[in-house]
């Protein structure tokens, strides 16, 4: 009977876990819808702004180019891993941490590396290296463009003051609820348009083309960072919803197996009791 009690306790524990994971799945599904709508609406604006900026920059003379497009020798690299503040999202956070470690040990192995982290999971992973210059995990408490713009301005300042020669964003790009793509995206200096792309801008510019570029660049960079964080935010809820869905399925399967084990054990116990009663009665008759 002690064995039956143990199985009943396990069934109760698994059922409670299943209820929790099911609730977390529904919460993430609700948050995902809002986050997905936000990033879907933002992408066309962000992509068009980047396209316009690159096209304008490609037509400027080298001397009149932007200070944010300074292609200097890269000695100091600032990596910006974007993770979540919470776990239980499958490989969502570990994929980012793995990608940053890969970049650190391969692509930028001979460079001076530092980190500006967004998300407590990234901070936990890299704080022991003593290379974290800032932890901006609190941005998720109020994810607005103005709050993200402050972080973008900090990154731009790091580049202008030569504290970083190259800044790279590492984040999960949202594709759908079950799929996220790990991105390593250069933030600064601005990536020049490919030389084989034909740029034809038959426009009259007022004010000058250079002034327009200088005004567009900070806004474009802020938008780029905001889009990356929005992508990561939507990916987080998609990954968590998928992880909780799988966890709920696994808990359901385990509960069913435990119930079957419990019924078999109970049936065996009842059978043994019957055999004992029959054996005792038979002994009395003899």
Q: Which range, 4-8, 164-168, 175-179, is most confident?
A: 164-168
Q: Please determine, for residue 96, whether its predicted confidence score (pLDDT) is greater than 90.
A: yes
> Above 60 in pLDDT, residue 200?
no
Provide mean pLDDT across the span 189-214. 67
Residue 59 has pLDDT above 70, yes or no: no
Specify the pLDDT at position 124: 94
> Between vectors from CA 62 to CA 56 and to CA 68, what angle results, nearest 5°?
65
Within 10 A of 243 (CB to CB), how many other CB atoms are there?
20
92 closest CA partner among 187, 24, 174: 174
276 or 65: which leads in pLDDT: 276
Q: Does the pLDDT at position 242 exceed 80? A: yes
pLDDT at residue 113 is higher than 90 = yes
Residue-level pLDDT at 97: 95
Which pLDDT value is given to residue 81? Answer: 96
Query: pLDDT class for 252, splitting at 50, 70, 90?
Result: very high
Q: Is the pLDDT of residue 126 over 80?
A: yes
Distance CA 165, CA 183 (A): 20
Q: Is the pLDDT of residue 108 over 70?
A: yes
Q: What is the rounded average pLDDT of the residues 122-151?
A: 93
Query: Average pLDDT, stretch 258-280?
Result: 86
* SS3 per-residue string spanning the chain: CHHHHHHHHHHHHHHHHHHHHHHHHHHHHHHHHHHHHHHHHHHHHHHHHHHHHHHHHHCCCCCCCCHHHCCCCCCEEEEEEECCCCCCCCCHHHHHHHHHHHHHHCCCCCCEEEEEEECHHHHHHHHHHCCEEEECHHHHHHCCHHHHHHHHHHHHHHHHCCCCCEEEEEEEEEEECCEEEEEEEEEECCCCCCCCCCCCCCCCCCCCHHHHHHHHHHHHHHHHHHHHHHHHHHHHHHHHHHHHHHHHHHHHHHHHHHHHHHHHHHHHHHHHHHHHHHHHHHHHHC
| Residue-level pLDDT at 148 | 94
> CATH assignment of 33-243, given 3.40.1380.10, 1.10.260.40, 3.40.30.10, 3.40.50.1000?
3.40.1380.10
Measured CA to CA, the distance from residue 189 to residue 66 in angstroms comes to 10
Cα-flanking dihedrals φ and ψ of residue 77, to 5°? -115, 130
Tokens 């609820």: give the residue.
Answer: 177
Q: What mean pLDDT is predicted for residues 263-270?
A: 87
CA distance 172 to 9: 40
pLDDT band of 70, cuts 50, 70, 90: confident
Residue 210 has pLDDT above 80, yes or no: no
CA gap 54, 239 in Å, rounded: 33
Q: Which residues contact 22 (CB under 8 A, 6 or more apart)?
A: 244, 248
| Closest to 16 (Cα-Cα) out of 265, 263, 260, 254 | 254
Strand order in the sheet with 132-135: 132-135, 112-117, 76-81, 166-176, 179-188
The predicted structure's pLDDT at residue 281: 78
pLDDT of residue 201: 58
Q: So what's the pLDDT on residue 193?
A: 62
Q: Residue 65's pLDDT is what?
A: 56
d(CA 62, CA 70): 10
- What pLDDT is attached to residue 265? 86
CA separation, residue 105 to residues 52, 102, 231 (Å): 35, 5, 26
Q: Nearest 5°: CA angle at 209, between 205 and 211?
A: 115
Residues 13-56 have pLDDT tens digits of 999 999 999 999 999 999 898 898 989 889 888 888 877 777 76
Q: Which pLDDT value is given to residue 52?
A: 76
Q: What percent of the chain has a predicted confidence (pLDDT) above 90?
A: 55
Q: How far apart are CA 35 and CA 174, in angstroms?
A: 10
- pLDDT tier at 95 (50, 70, 90 boundaries)? very high
Residue 285 has a pLDDT of: 77
pLDDT given for residue 192 in this prediction: 67
Q: What's the chain's average pLDDT?
A: 87
């Amino acid at each position: 009977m002690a064995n039956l009690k143990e199985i009943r306790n396990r069934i109760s524990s698994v059922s409670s876990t299943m209820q929790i994971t099911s609730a977390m799945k529904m919460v993430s599904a609700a948050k995902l819808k809002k986050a997905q709508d936000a990033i879907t609406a933002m992408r066309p604006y962000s992509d068009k702004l980047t396209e316009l900026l690159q096209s304008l920059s490609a037509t400027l003379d080298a001397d009149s180019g932007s200070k944010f497009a300074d292609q200097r020798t890269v000695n100091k690299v600032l990596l910006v891993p974007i993770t979540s503040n919470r776990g239980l999202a499958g490989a969502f956070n570990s994929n980012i941490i793995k990608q940053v470690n890969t970049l650190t040990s391969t692509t930028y192995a001979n460079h001076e590396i530092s980190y500006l982290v967004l998300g407590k999971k990234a901070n936990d992973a890299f704080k022991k290296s003593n290379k974290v210059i800032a932890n901006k995990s609190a941005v998720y408490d109020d994810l607005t463009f103005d709050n993200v713009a402050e972080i973008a301005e900090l990154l731009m300042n790091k580049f202008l003051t030569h504290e970083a020669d190259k800044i790279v964003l590492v984040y999960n790009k949202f594709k759908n609820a079950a799929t996220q793509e790990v991105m390593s995206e250069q933030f600064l200096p601005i990536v020049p348009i490919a030389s084989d792309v034909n740029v034809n801008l038959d426009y009259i510019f007022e004010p000058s083309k250079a002034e327009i570029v200088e005004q567009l660049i900070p806004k474009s960079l802020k938008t780029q960072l905001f889009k990356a964080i929005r992508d990561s935010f939507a990916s987080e809820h998609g990954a968590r919803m998928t992880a909780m869905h799988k966890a709920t399925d696994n808990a359901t399967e385990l509960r069913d197996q435990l119930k079957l084990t419990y019924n078999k054990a109970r049936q065996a116990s009842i059978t043994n009791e019957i055999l004992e009663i029959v054996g005792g009665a038979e002994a009395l008759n003899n």
